[in-house]
Amino acid sequence: MAGPTEWPAAQRVARAVFSRFPGIHAAYRRLRGRPGVVRYAATPAAPVSKPFLELRVRAEGPAPVTRAEAAAWCGAQTLAELRGVGYGDSGEVAWTTEAQTAPGPAAAGASPWFFAPRGLPDVSPSFLESASLVLAAEQIDALALPAGPSPNAAEHTVHRSGAYELMPSEGNVRALTDALTGKTVARRAPLSGGKAFAYRRDAYVSTRPMGEIFSVGLRDARAVLRRAASPSGKPAVLVLTSYLARGGVEEVLYQVLSRLTSRFEFLIVTLAPHEERLGDRRADFAKLTPRLYGFGDLVHPDAMFGMLGALIDASAPVALYNANGTTWFYDVAPELKRQFPGLRLIDQLYDHRAGYIDRYDERIRGAIDVCVATNGRIARALIDKRGWPEARTPVIRPCVAPPEPVPPGEQRSRRAALRAVLGAREDTVVFLLAARMHPQKRPLDLVRVAGRVRDLAQLRFVLVGGGVLEQEVDREIAALAGENVVRLPFRRDVPALVAAADVGCLVSDYEGLPVFLLEALSSGVPFLGTDVGEMGELLKASGAGVVVDRPGDLDAIEAAVRRLADRDFRSSLAARTREAARAFDAPACAEKYAGVFLT
């Protein structure tokens, strides 16, 4: 990789010193002053043009794998250089499969490998491709893959280069030498939940913190990433996001990307670990692009900038779009612009009072080319209070796909089935909140209001979602000891649940223009919302709902709920909902983003 000039000998000495004297390492980081933005430095070693990646499995003993099974598994991956190798209990090679791509002459003896001691692993091709990038770029020789589903990297064991040997009969590897100091060590790292070398955020691939200087010595990461370059000639766009959970941000991103895949090659990088309680939409996005890189699941925070640089070098994107990524983006944006001056940096903001807008200072103004505001208030705050150029602040409101048409008879049966899931009869009035259980959304307010209106026996409050407040929400619900409020975990069928509800609710502290609101309006469901972002403006202008002026005003929320309990009042609001939703057309939204990506 291109990068700052750093001599390999100095690197080896520095890494050895840092590993033995953590205090010196910490002082060096303070003096350097740019944590997390170090590029991978090339070494004089000859790069491997077409390295092999091996899936090593047991050919006999517990959970044996046949050559045909391994070949089929490898063939289903996106890595053309992957081959399977079966080992007998004594460690001898029993068979190998052919990779789709022949290795280069320097590949012999330098193959990074995956080890699956309990049968073929159940991991996605995008996960494996992310892992191969880590193996190549950070000189890791082995990564153990579990046999079951793999939602996060905490279940994997990774091993430094040249320090381990495979022990098929025992289902583990033996540590031969310390990867940094070269000293012989006598300990083993089990391949299933081992603690000595298990992935930890503070220790990464070994029991010591990661060093400041990285090098690509045994393998060239660019060779593994060569397939990231667009084979079709379409311009590439690199998308950064926190994770691919089930929320409004991800839904808008999906609607936009799904309409632009014929014109762009998308690469998606997630920067935070996926959490099961937030839902998982990686499988949906994998249908749009095979290029999903789980940096948050696999990459040490200090290594993310170097890994992102390797990906940019390989894919040559025309734009990098930060679609509500983590705050890390703002830490590295100036350095990204310095090292990649031709790369168009695009950010997106969802609120004008809180969150990422506070990061917009002189440094960011010089680094980011365009900031997409999801409502007019954000644009005005940027322009009037932050000195942001108006020409670089397009307003692109969120979009929503219209519900698919369903015959009336089938629609009634679906509604009845879904209302049964919600614990509601036909005469029950269902108030639905579908969102993260997060302080921003104030779910506890709705639970407490549910306790106040128990005299209205026909009302039922349903909260759908998970997050940091889910246990507290569940405790509040249990304390009410009533049946008029329930919380469900994240579900894939939220749009269908919306259509089966009677009122949508968001009593948030802040919002941009929430997709859940648009989903409710497009389904003909009136809404109860607080006057934050453009939510209150839309509801007041359209007459499609009731607005509470101040978040946290339980008396006002209770009064709104009591008004919405009336069938005739709800019907008068519902008559205006679909007309209000027509302004948030998904194809038109995607066209605006296409223009931002290119100009």
- In the predicted model, is pLDDT for residue 201 greater than 50? no
How far is 170 from 165, CA to CA, in rounded Å?
A: 12
Residue that terminates a domain, selected from 188, 206, 222 = 222
Considering the domain architecture, whether residues 57 and 108 belong to the same structural domain is answered as yes
- Alpha carbon distance 240, 345 (integer Å): 11
Residues 389 and 419 in one domain: no
Q: What pLDDT was estimated at residue 29?
A: 42
Q: What three-state secondary structure class fits 131?
A: helix
Q: Kindly give the residue spans of alpha helices, DSSP state H, lying in 368-493.
A: 376-386, 408-421, 443-452, 470-480
Residue 573 has pLDDT above 70, yes or no: yes
Tell me whether residue 117 is in a domain: yes
Indicate if 380 and 487 belong to the same structural domain.
no
Instruction: Please tell me the predicted confidence (pLDDT) of residue 416.
Output: 80
Q: Which residue has the higher pLDDT, 426 or 522?
A: 522
Same structural domain, 391 and 504? no
Statement to judge: residues 333 and 455 lie in one domain: no
In this structure, the answer to whether residues 339 and 436 fall within a common structural domain is no
- pLDDT tens profile 383-437: 999 889 999 999 999 988 877 776 666 667 777 887 887 778 888 999 999 998 9
* Predicted confidence (pLDDT) per residue in 249-297, tens digit: 898 999 999 999 999 999 999 998 777 778 888 889 989 998 888 888 7
Q: What is the residue type of 424?
A: A
Say which residue, 52 or 172, is predicted with more confidence: 52
Regarding whether 193 and 278 lie in a shared domain, the answer is no
What is the mean pLDDT of the segment spanning 122-135? 71
Q: What is the CATH number of the domain that holds 439?
A: 3.40.50.2000
Q: Are residues 236 and 200 in the same domain?
A: no
Determine the structural domain holding residue 537 and report its residue range. 408-581
DSSP-derived 3-state class of residue 216: strand
Using the predicted structure, report yes or no on whether residue 115 has a pLDDT greater than 90: no
Residue 200 has pLDDT above 60, yes or no: no
pLDDT digit string, tens, across residues 429-460: 999 999 989 999 999 999 999 999 999 989 99
> Is 260 within the bounds of a domain?
yes
Assess if residue 3 is contained within a domain: no
Phi, psi of 442 (to 5 degrees): 50, 50
Structural domain count, the chain: 4
| Top-confidence residue, 32 or 24 | 24
Q: 37 and 58: one domain?
A: no
pTM equals 0.70
Same domain, yes or no, for 107 and 27? no
Region 42-63 average pLDDT: 63
Confidence of residue 108 (pLDDT cuts 50, 70, 90): very low
Residues 6+ apart with CB under 8 A from 520: 432, 498, 501, 504, 526, 527, 577
Examine the pLDDT at 31 and tell me if it is beyond 50. no
Inside any domain, residue 1: no
What is residue 123's predicted lDDT score, i.e. its pLDDT? 73
Q: Is residue 47 part of a domain?
A: no
Structural domain ending residue among the three candidates 222, 252, 268:
222
Of residues 507 and 114, the one with the higher pLDDT is 507
Asked, for residue 2, whether it belongs to a domain, the answer is no
Q: Are residues 119 and 57 in the same domain?
A: yes
Question: What does the block give as tokens for 269?
Answer: 């990088």
**Whether residue 167 sits in one domain with residue 135:** yes
Distance, CA of 485 to CA of 463 (rounded, Å)? 8
**78 in a domain, yes or no?**
yes
Q: Where are the alpha helices (DSSP H) in 459-532?
A: 470-480, 494-500, 515-522
From residue 218, give the alpha-carbon distance in Å to each of 5, 108, 324, 531. Answer: 18, 11, 35, 57
Residue 193 has pLDDT above 50, yes or no: no
Q: Which of 188, 222, 256 is the last residue of a domain?
A: 222
